[in-house]
Structure 1
Amino acid sequence: MATIDVIAAALPPYYGTALRSGSSGPDVAQLQTWLNGVRSRWPQLPSLTVDGRYGSATARAVAEFQTLTGLSVDGVAGANTWNMAYNQYAALHGAGEIYPGMVTRQGTRGAVVKSLQQKLNLLRQLYPAIQPISNDGIFGSGTAEALRRFQAQFGLSADAAMGPATYEKLRDVIVGIGSRQPVHVDPRYPGYVLQRGSSGDPVRFVQSYLSALGGSIPKLTIDGKFGAATQNAVSVFQAQHGLKVDGKVGPATWSALVDAFNATL
């Protein structure tokens, strides 16, 4: 039987709901990933398919892991098992959060989702086109919208789901903030001129970038609605940058605005 002396809180922290037979979702996949990752130490643990489904194989692996680490053996992953699985994985591979092992999307909930929400809320402080969301661990429409707005600004497929590429980009952008070397945005031009009456995420990006410039360019309400205030701010920006002053955002204004925003980071 092997244990470690100090059990640190897992990353992501335990959500508060025990995982058991019949559970499903990214938290189960996270647990499966950790358990697979400690088989080099305990090869008697069964190899698990990381599918986010807590079936009989996962229950057996959890019970065996509990036996090996001196935990109460019930095949259910509560707080102690969740934290122990993380700690044993971290002891072998290094501390820190890792990709859970499956795509996280709308309709799921748990620790992985809550961690995603916390990341998005942190990022919006520098990239305010991402709207604030609740850190409740429930992947609803608000979280999907915030994630899509993140993806669209960083060259990712805006599918509102956290797969490996999105997870890695989230990590990179957060590291950039922490190191005071923010990652530049790279939103794709929408393919049509934005003008008064336009709406949607591209308008939110324009409004957020304009609002960051300061000076004579007024801050705007970031609501994705291209009204008179946004039109005026675009005109002021165009006049300052030698662009045609028409209050519309075509390819040239879009590119200049993205460059100007990145220069503020």
Structure 2
Amino acid sequence: MATTVAMPPYYGVVLQNGSSGPDVAMVQTWLNGVQSKYPQLPKFTVDGAYGSGTTAAVKTFQLLTGLTADGKTGRATWDELYAQYASIYGEGEVYCNIVSRAGDQGAVVKSMQQHLGYVRTLYTAIQSLSFDGIYGSGSTASLRQFQPQFGLTADGSYGKQSFGMLKSAVSSIEVGNPLRVTTRYPGYVLTVGSSGDSVRFVQSYLSALGGSIPKLTIDGQYGNATKNAVMQFQASKGLKIDGVVGSTTWSALIVAFNATL
């Protein structure tokens, strides 16, 4: 029986015939992964739909590992599946093999939220979010603010690339060597009255510099405080002091922020 805590930890909702979403896909991924140990298990497509095939495979796994063979995935089955998978491939969370989106919920979503919450302490353009396992507008926005800082498409959906990059960002912070941002210039000048995620990036990066550069409220609204901070930054770098962020100021700001990491 499993003694380790699964990654991601069990969410508290029993998965069964008719369930769907990334947690079901996680179960299917683990089941496929332990086939080398339990060849009696069928291999099937990971689609996030808990149908008769998944139910039968779970029941077979339960019989083979001494669990109650009801075909449902509660805590004991979730933890045992993870433990058996980890015994083959090693500890750690793996991609569930389907894209998670707004409207999903469960352990996979909660893990994403917790990882975003961890990295936002350093990459402060990411807005705060709840760790409730419910993929709503807040989670979508937070992920959308994470993605472009590391060269990903800012679509707010949690696919394989976002999973891998977020996992890498967490582990890099943990070992004291944070990932450098590669946030692209938005293609237009930011000035007083501008708003949105690009402004959040400017405010975040400026706030990390210290010295004569004041910390800003990271709200995505380009007001006079942001303009003044930009001017201070431009003066410190020998740039044209106009209080607007064009491509030259943007590039210099990326370099300056990365130097703080």
- Shorter-chain TM band: over 0.9
Matched, 1:80 2:71: no
Aligned-residue identity in percent: 60
2-structure distance, mates of 1:49, 1:100: 12
User: Is 1:219 aligned to 2:215, yes or no?
Assistant: yes
The C-alpha deviation readout for 1:209-258, integer Å capped at 9, x for no partner, is 00001111111000000000000000010011000000000000000001
Give, in whole Å, the separation in 2 of the partners of 1:106 and 1:247.
Answer: 37
**1:57 equivalent among 47, 50, 53:** 53
Alpha-carbon distance, 1:7 to partner: 2.2
Structure 1 counterpart SS, 2:259: helix
Q: Which residue of 2 aligns with 1:207?
A: 203
Q: Which amino acid aligns with 1:165?
A: Q
**TM-score scaled by length of structure 1:** 0.97
Work out whether 1:132 is the aligned partner of 2:128.
Answer: yes
Q: Does 1:263 align with 2:259?
A: yes
Which whole-Å CA distance do the structure 1 matches of 2:116 and 2:37 have between them?
35
Matched residues in 1 for 2:91 and 2:117: separation? 23
Partner of residue 89, structure 2: 93
- Unaligned runs of 5+ residues in structure 2 are none
SS at match of 1:253: helix
1:118-164: CA deviation from partner (whole Å, max 9, x where unpaired): 00000000000001100000000000000000001110011111111
* In structure 2, C-alpha distance between the alignment counterparts of 1:80 and 1:90, rounded to whole Å: 15
Letter in 1 for 2:212: S
Task: Please list the CA deviations of residues 12-41 of structure 1 after superposition, one character each: whole Å capped at 9, or x if unmatched.
Answer: 000000000000000000000000001111
Q: How far is 1:165 from its partner?
A: 0.9
Counterpart in 1 of 2:27? 31
Equivalent residues, number: 261
What's the C-alpha RMSD, in Å, of the aligned pairs? 0.7
Structure 1, unmatched stretches of 5+, are none
Q: Give, in whole Å, the separation in 2 of the partners of 1:9 and 1:101.
A: 21
In the superposition, the TM-score normalised over structure 2's length comes to 0.99
AA in 2 matched with 1:123: V
The residue that corresponds to 1:186 in the other structure is 182
What are the superposed Cα offsets for residues 153-200 of structure 1, whole Å, 9 maximum, x if unpaired?
110011111111111111111111011111000111000000000000
Aligned positions of 1:114-263 closer than 5 A: 114-263=110-259
Other-structure match for 2:104: 108
Distance 2:116 2:185 in 1: 23
Q: Residues of 1 paired with 2:88 and 2:236: CA distance? A: 55
